A and B are shown apart, each in its own frame.
Chain A
Amino acid sequence: MTSEWPLWEVFIRSQHGLAHKHAGSLHAPDAAMAVKNARDVYTRRNEGVSIWVVRSSDVVASSPGDREALFDPAQSKVYRHPTFFPMPDEVKHI
């Protein structure tokens, strides 16, 4: 029987109130051990105040082949950015 522990992805929230960010991955037999290992491996220098772990096999990712189909349409919609609209100099606070 294989005893290789499953792979987990680790997300850490840093001190500054930001969202959890992917820090890396590790092996652990279960979720509780994954959190413990993540604490030892990814927060040795006060990098975080909160940890999420997710089984790597549970992550659903977009495919590189779909990159154009997914992301190119946004390129032609520059009006979604506020800088698209020139504002007269006299108008303030907008």
Chain B
Amino acid sequence: MYAQLVDTGLKKVAEASEMSADERAFQARVDADVKIEPKDWMPEAYRRTLVRQIQQHAHSEIVGMLPEGNWLTRAPSLKRKAILMAKIQDEGGHGLYLYSAAETLGVSRDDLIDDLHAGKVKYSSIFNYPTLNWADIGTIGWLVDGAAIMNQIPLCRCSYGPYARAMVRICKEESFHQRQGFDIMISMCNGTREQKAMAQDALDRWWWPSLMMFGPPDAESVHSAQSARWKIKLLSNDELRQRFIDQTVPQAEFLGLSIPDPELRLDEATGHYAIGPIDWDEFKNVLKGHGPCNRERLATRVKAWEDGAWVREAAMAHARKRAAREAA
């Protein structure tokens, strides 16, 4: 979800008979819920897939700061501004925890950032949509962070120790994000008719992209089976999406907002909500770089990185000079 369509580089799930002794021992540890740690032996495909997954996740955290930063200077009160600032700061921290987890797999953070800037590695499709008004900030916290929590809680149990530990820390902080979003929605839905209309408009625009965050339907997710075997994906895209829908529809009802899906209905037999078709062409289009904000987001990241280069270099030069003086 924050990591969508993670390529394992494999055509099919490896069978026990095709595994080397090392691979069989590795899989046995994963099956026994023993955490894999950085210095442990691991199959190269596992390591590569994790680097891809964790860095997509990390990039999503820091690119996710941009749509919200758009509203920092226009938050409706000092309190809302301080809260939004704290949330955005958390996202930066989450990016850092995740980059650190990826670095334990033998890659450098600068290389990961180069991959993002070169367009070689994606971030979540959701951040390519614009934040048009203040209600979007509420909706992002409520839906986007809500969807993120749905995905991240199972990942606290994933097989790779540093990733699992980063997820535990992130999940503790993420709940604040979702609640601050819902709190904004409550205020707007209890406000003037215009404010409530803004809330409905934001839900109309963010609902479907939020459902797409969980990635393509299970039948089309070619790499999920191997990732599930390695316990770096614990629930399927469709399972997570269904949980999210079941949890969110009653929350929308509480707000007095309607979900923009004429086919939405509660299936009495299963207790789950059924939804209309998701426009996967839109999803694929956004992933290919043709969403409303893809170019702007990446350009903003690259500019921030390049504009900050002299600071990073100066700080390093200063540290080297001081170290040399102390050594002399």
Contact = CB atoms under 8 A, between A and B. Distances in A.
A25 interface: yes
Contacts of B319: 29-30, 33
Contacts, number: 52
B312 A3 contact: yes
A41 B309 contact: no
B258 interface: no
Interface of A: 1-5, 7, 24-27, 29-30, 33, 40-41, 44-45, 61, 63-64
Nearest to B36: A64
Given A3-B316, A30-B322, A33-B315, A44 B309 contact: no
Given A7-B103, A24-B166, A24-B169, A29 B316 contact: yes
B304 to A, nearest CB: 16
Nearest to B313: A3
Interface of B is mostly: helix
B39 A64 contact: yes
A5 B316 contact: yes
A26 B37 contact: no
Interface size class of B (residues with CB under 8 A): 20 to 34
A61 B38 CA distance: 11
Given A29-B316, A44-B89, A64 B108 contact: no
A7 B322 CA distance: 18
B2 interface: no
B37 to A, nearest CB: 7
Which 6 residue pairs of A and B lie closest in terms of their CB atoms, listed nearest first? A30-B319, A29-B319, A29-B315, A3-B313, A25-B100, A4-B110
Contacts of B86: 44
Contacts of B41: 64
